[in-house]
């Protein structure tokens, strides 16, 4: 009888220990997420957000600091993400391929809009489409896969251009811009205005700027550090994707971009 009781007690203790370990891991991950969102925070702020005593928060931060996942600014007592997080992110980035991660997101965007969804990345001074999915309405859609398109005349290109470092963006916007249709933006001032709007609004549009009868919207895809690494959007004939419908499609593109960014490690 005594042996049975002892065994039951040991199992109960093991269960409590396992539950405590899981809770500790969950809290440690929450701390990292808090610092990713706020850039820096003190023990009091972290304990309040976790709903734990300051001593508990301090112990968690101590373990994370020992492993190099957080660092502390001694003068102000604030904690921030450490170099260890970058090492982990760098290792994960090898596996987080935008093409692979983008497949279900691109497919879902095509299904939601009924149009052709594309993912594009920067390739020198152009955008190259690395993925495409066709919606129900896009029976005769263009094949954009592998095609390099001009930055100033496409929605994806404008998104990528808008988030380049200032000097490179200015260099590309100030050069002679080829005209493809009567709607193509070739004046640097007009293009700069749209790039500013794209950065502020979180999306860009193009209306018959590359080809007559073709409209598009796109939004930026971000990596774990916030850098824009691509653009996801939809394109289709102007009679279906009329200007009045572009804001609705832009909202869907922004949602898809947020989902793909999350898959690429961006905390949002």
pLDDT of residue 90: 58
Per-residue pLDDT for 255 more than 80?
yes
Q: What is the largest CA-CA distance in the chain?
A: 92
pLDDT of residue 236: 92
pLDDT of residue 89: 66
Q: Dump pLDDT digits (tens) for 90-125.
A: 545 544 578 888 999 999 999 999 999 999 999 888
CA distance 76 to 243: 51
The confidence band for 196, taking pLDDT boundaries of 50, 70 and 90, is: very high
Cβ neighbours around 163 below 10 Å, total: 19
pLDDT of residue 21: 73
The confidence band for 13, taking pLDDT boundaries of 50, 70 and 90, is: very low
pLDDT of residue 6: 47
pLDDT of residue 164: 93
Per-residue pLDDT for 184 more than 80?
yes
The confidence band for 18, taking pLDDT boundaries of 50, 70 and 90, is: low
When pLDDT is averaged across residues 177-184 and rounded to a whole number, the result is 95
pLDDT of residue 174: 87
Higher local confidence (pLDDT), 16 or 248: 248
Higher local confidence (pLDDT), 136 or 239: 239
pLDDT of residue 139: 59
Q: Would residue 164 be called left, alpha or beta, if left means φ above 0 and alpha means ψ between -120 and 50 degrees?
A: beta
pLDDT of residue 109: 96
pLDDT of residue 94: 40
CA distance 75 to 201: 38
Per-residue pLDDT for 70 more than 70?
yes
pLDDT of residue 9: 46
Any residues with CB less than 8 A from the CB of 57 and at least 6 apart, and which?
Answer: 31, 43, 46, 47, 50
Q: Which residue has the tokens 């949602």?
A: 255
| Contact by Cβ (8 Å): 147, 128 | yes
Per-residue pLDDT for 257 more than 60?
yes
pLDDT of residue 140: 57
Per-residue pLDDT for 221 more than 70?
yes
């Amino acid at each position: 009888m005594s042996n049975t009781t002892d065994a039951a007690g040991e199992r109960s203790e093991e269960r409590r220990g396992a539950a405590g370990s899981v809770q500790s891991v969950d809290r440690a991950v929450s701390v990292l997420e808090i610092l990713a969102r706020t850039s820096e925070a003190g023990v009091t702020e972290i304990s309040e957000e976790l709903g734990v005593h300051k001593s508990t928060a301090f112990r968690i931060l101590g373990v994370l600091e020992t492993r190099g996942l957080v660092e502390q600014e001694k003068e102000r007592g604030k904690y921030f993400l450490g170099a260890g997080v970058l090492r982990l992110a760098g290792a994960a980035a090898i596996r987080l391929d935008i093409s692979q991660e983008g497949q279900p997101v691109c497919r879902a965007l095509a299904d939601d809009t009924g149009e052709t969804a594309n993912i594009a990345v920067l390739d020198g001074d152009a955008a190259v489409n690395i993925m495409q999915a066709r919606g129900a309405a896009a029976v005769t859609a263009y094949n954009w896969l592998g095609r390099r398109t001009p930055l100033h005349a496409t929605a994806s290109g404008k998104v990528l251009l808008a988030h380049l470092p200032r000097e490179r963006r200015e260099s590309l916007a100030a050069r002679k811009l080829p005209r493809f249709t009567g709607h193509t933006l070739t004046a640097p001032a007009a293009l700069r205005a749209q790039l500013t709007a794209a950065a502020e609004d979180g999306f860009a549009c193009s209306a018959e700027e590359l080809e007559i009868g073709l409209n598009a919207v796109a939004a930026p895809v971000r990596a774990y550090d916030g850098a824009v690494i691509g653009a996801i959007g939809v394109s289709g004939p102007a009679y279906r994707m009329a200007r009045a419908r572009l804001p609705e499609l832009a909202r869907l593109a922004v949602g898809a971009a947020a989902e793909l960014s999350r898959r690429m490690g961006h905390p949002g």
